[in-house]
Structure 1
Amino acid sequence: MHTPLIRTARLADQAALGELDRAVWSPLHAVQPAPQPPYDPFFDSNHRPDHYLVAEGEQGAVDGYLRLARPTPLACNAHVRQIQGLAVAESARGRGVGRALLRASFDEARRQGATRITLRVLGHNAPARALYEAEGFALEGVLPGEFLLEGAYVDDVLMGRAL
């Protein structure tokens, strides 16, 4: 299995990341409605390229991304980074792209001075939860029925790990 190149996003990735985001949208992991045209830009003042790690596949294709950001602007939790999005192209699934992005996020969070990393995942997203557990995340809390998605209440699961 070929390990993907993981790098920080560039402004030039905006179109490819937007396309990937729309292609992988699913109620399995999204709480926002499916994107509809006209599409908003992928990057904005709160979602800057330096918040994203990109998995670059063959011929420079964007195979996935992970958004890593501070959960709040508070100084008292500046030691925490939060994964606020992880997407892998359908064509790249099963090749270790998600795992490589997670592991790169641990290194990047440490580089930024973090000692802890957290995330939120929907309770019914068993594949993502299994990947996070395999990479050392522990269940830290559950908000039961936090979201109503397609007529069903879905738990918001909080996970975290030390770096």
Structure 2
Amino acid sequence: MSEIHTCPVRPAALFDEAALGELDRATWSTLHAVAPRPQPPYAPFFDDRHRPEDFLVAEARDEAGESYLAGYIRLVPPTPLACNTHVRQIQGLAVADRARGRGVARALLRAAFVAARGDGANRMTLRVLGHNAPARALYESEGFVVEGVLPGEFFLDGRYVDDVMMGRSLAP
């Protein structure tokens, strides 16, 4: 595997929709998804609840120098309540197979911290499946701690899987 030479992160735009949909379908796995595998005809990636402004995307170049979307992160307020506006929640993180192990997820997380702070947030939360050890290790290395566990919350691939809540401060 060659290295990704640059991995700029930027806000998503409407023109990213097709590439994001493809990335989302290509990375689907019971390691992180609780919804069934998407089937054709595919729903639009963006809708009323999943707006371009909710996403940051990482761009990379392949060995031929062609640009592609290497990953995305969805960052939203967890509720519409005014008393909760200081929190942002990660509700989706995906990295293309060809970009794994190259720091894309870490770059997306760090860009999300900056964006959330810029929006006035001082706390970030997420949920991750208990059996997703690589994601949990990444989150822990970026300052997230386990704040709660719903044991056996999901039944995936013939077994019960915990739903793990993690959070961290965004204070500098």
TM-score bin, normalised by smaller chain: over 0.9
Find the counterpart in structure 2 of residue 24 from structure 1.
27
Q: CA deviation at 1:150?
A: 1.5
**Aligned positions of 1:54-73 closer than 5 A:** 54-58=57-61, 59-73=66-80
Q: Distance in 2 between matches of 1:137 and 1:3?
A: 26
Q: CA deviation at 1:136?
A: 0.3
User: What amino acid sits opposite 2:21 in the alignment?
Assistant: G
1:125 to 122, 132, 150: 132
Residues 3 and 96 in structure 1, CA contact (< 8 A), matched pair in contact too: no
Q: TM-score, normalised by structure 2?
A: 0.93
Q: CA deviation at 1:151?
A: 1.4
Find the counterpart in structure 1 of residue 113 from structure 2.
106
Q: Distance in 2 between matches of 1:111 and 1:27?
A: 33
User: What amino acid sits opposite 2:162 in the alignment?
Assistant: D
Residues 120 and 156 in structure 1, CA contact (< 8 A), matched pair in contact too: yes
**Aligned positions of 1:40-59 closer than 5 A:** 40-58=43-61, 59=66
Tell me whether 1:136 sits opposite 2:135 in the alignment: no
State the Cα RMSD in Å. Answer: 0.8
Q: Where does structure 2 lack aligned partners over 5 or more consecutive residues?
A: none
* Shift >6 Å, 4+ stretches: none
Q: CA deviation at 1:3?
A: 4.2
Q: CA deviation at 1:69?
A: 0.3
User: What amino acid sits opposite 2:126 in the alignment?
Assistant: L
Q: Distance in 1 between matches of 2:46 and 2:28?
A: 17
Q: Distance in 2 between matches of 1:55 and 1:35?
A: 23
Find the counterpart in structure 2 of residue 153 from structure 1.
160
Q: TM-score, normalised by structure 1?
A: 0.98
Q: Distance in 1 between matches of 2:69 and 2:116?
A: 21
Q: Where does structure 1 lack aligned partners over 5 or more consecutive residues?
A: none
* Pairs aligned (count): 163
Find the counterpart in structure 1 of residue 8 from structure 2.
5
Q: Distance in 2 between matches of 1:46 and 1:35?
A: 17
Q: Percent identity?
A: 71
Q: Distance in 1 between matches of 2:107 and 2:6?
A: 7
